[in-house]
């Protein structure tokens, strides 16, 4: 190749690279659902199965850090607008000690962080599987920190009142009482247990909600009623979601069917519920967040932020490809 041709190719390659990097660092002004999503440094956001906590006017997005398959602890990102996220690091690490319950090689899923007003501590709950035991430990783990950005320190892990606990979520009610909602008995049962006042353990107020073989619980409260979305149990493969409603967290829960609307609604748009974010400054506005898993490369799993539509006809989650928060003003 002549020097002139080589220089031209080099210039083209540099231009493409620069514009790609620029694209990655471009400010987002909407949710591009299921697309590659970069943080403010231009790296892919790695925070799966997680939660968003709004604290002192900032959103904190906690999630599973994944390699192509393995768990790599819990990450956090911060944002002021929900579209642009700054990476703040791993807040909860796995242990190098192979005998530790949180040893590397184990699995940490579905992290949820809540703030305890009385103790002034941030408490992290997560689904824990112990190194070398696949998904058979079926425990829930607890960690705490004085600072929202961590580091979080391991407190304990266990089966709540002896019950298996796999997919789970944590719900803090308006009165400050908090609960774990969890898939139990090999995912055949959905159960609830109230947490102790310090949020570091469970109480004996532990009860069966329903036995419908469901997982991936995500919950919100609207108009004095609780709405719970779950998935069926098909590993990483997507399936049909179901919504149920109750006046009381302990039930009875009434099944309402699939809330997803649009093409691919039968497979939850090829995703699975992770959590629901009530918008702090907009009454009765909620964002459903799902994971579109890529089992071959979990790190590359995508996020599905979708607005929840509440009308006289009920609660629905219609597919939106590209939307912004002003959808709630319409
Ligand atoms: C589905 C769960 O919802 C995920 O969190 C994960 O545990 C996968 N199953 C593992 O197959």
Inside any domain, residue 17: no
Q: Taking the model in full, what pTM does it have?
A: 0.94
Which of 110, 112, 237, 289 maximizes ligand 1 atoms within 8 Å of its Cβ, making it the mutation to test the pocket?
110
**Which residue, 318, 303, 224, 212, is CA-closest to 262?**
318
The reported pLDDT for the residue numbered 26 is 86
The reported pLDDT for the residue numbered 132 is 97
- Give residue 270 CA to ligand 1 midpoint distance, Å: 14
Distance between CA 292 and CA 285 in Å, rounded?
Answer: 23
What is the arithmetic mean of pLDDT over 309-314?
A: 94
The structural domain count of the chain equals 1
Inside any domain, residue 280: yes
Inside any domain, residue 124: yes
At 197 the three-state DSSP class reads coil
Inside any domain, residue 291: yes
Residue owning tokens 């530790």: 100
Beta bridge partners of 181: 169, 192
Inside any domain, residue 298: yes
For residue 90, give the CATH number of its domain.
2.115.10.20
Q: pLDDT tier at 165 (50, 70, 90 boundaries)?
A: very high
Inside any domain, residue 12: no
**What is the maximum alpha-carbon separation in the chain?**
78
Which of 167, 238, 274 maximizes ligand 1 atoms within 8 Å of its Cβ, making it the mutation to test the pocket?
167
303 membership: H or E segment, kind and range: strand 302-307
What is the arithmetic mean of pLDDT over 272-290?
A: 97
The reported pLDDT for the residue numbered 311 is 95
Inside any domain, residue 99: yes
Nearest C-alpha to atom 1 of ligand 1 is from which residue? 235
pLDDT digits (tens, 9 = 90+) for 28-56: 999 999 999 999 999 999 999 999 999 99
Higher-pLDDT residue of 209 and 6 is: 209
Inside any domain, residue 1: no
Please identify, by atom number, the ligand 1 atom nearest to the C-alpha of residue 231: 3
Please list every protein residue whose CB sits less than 6 Å from any atom of ligand 1.
49, 109-110, 167, 215-216, 235-236, 272
> Cβ-count burial of 27 within 10 angstroms (0-12 exposed, 13-18 middle, 19+ buried)?
exposed
Q: What is the 3-state secondary structure (H, E, C) of 133-175?
A: CCCCCCEEEEEEECCCCCCCEEEEEECHHHCCCCCEEEEECCC
Q: Which residues constitute the domain of residue 180?
A: 34-329
Nearest C-alpha to atom 10 of ligand 1 is from which residue? 235
**Which residue, 305, 315, 232, is CA-closest to 59?**
305
């Amino acid at each position: 190749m002549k020097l002139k041709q080589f220089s031209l190719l080099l210039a083209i390659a540099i231009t493409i690279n620069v514009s790609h990097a620029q694209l990655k660092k471009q400010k987002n002004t909407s949710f591009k659902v299921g697309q590659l999503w970069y943080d403010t440094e231009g790296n892919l956001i790695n925070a799966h199965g997680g939660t968003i906590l709004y604290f002192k006017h900032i959103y904190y997005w906690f999630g599973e850090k994944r390699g192509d398959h393995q768990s790599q602890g819990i990450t956090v990102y911060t944002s002021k607008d929900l579209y642009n996220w700054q990476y703040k690091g791993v807040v909860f690490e796995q242990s190098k000690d192979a005998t530790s319950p949180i040893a590397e090689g184990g699995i940490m899923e579905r992290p949820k962080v809540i703030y305890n007003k009385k103790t002034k501590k941030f408490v992290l709950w997560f689904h824990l599987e112990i190194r070398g035991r696949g998904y058979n430990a079926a425990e829930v783990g607890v960690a705490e920190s004085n600072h929202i950005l961590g580091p979080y320190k391991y407190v304990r892990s266990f089966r709540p009142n002896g019950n298996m606990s796999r997919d789970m979520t944590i719900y803090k009610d308006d009165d400050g009482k908090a609960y774990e909602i969890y898939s139990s008995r090999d995912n055949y049962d959905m159960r609830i247990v109230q947490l102790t006042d310090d949020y570091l353990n469970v109480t004996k107020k532990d009860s069966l909600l329903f036995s419908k073989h469901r997982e991936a619980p995500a919950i919100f409260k609207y108009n004095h009623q609780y709405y719970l979305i779950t998935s069926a149990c098909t590993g990483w493969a997507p399936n049909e979601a179901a919504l149920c409603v109750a006046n009381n967290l302990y039930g009875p829960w009434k099944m309402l069917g699939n809330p997803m609307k649009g093409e691919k609604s039968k497979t939850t748009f090829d995703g699975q519920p992770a959590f629901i974010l009530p918008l702090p400054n907009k009454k009765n506005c909620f964002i459903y967040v799902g994971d579109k898993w890529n089992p071959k490369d979990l790190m590359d799993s995508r996020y599905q932020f979708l607005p929840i539509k509440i009308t006289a006809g009920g609660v629905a989650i219609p597919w939106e490809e590209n939307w912004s928060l002003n959808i709630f003003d319409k």
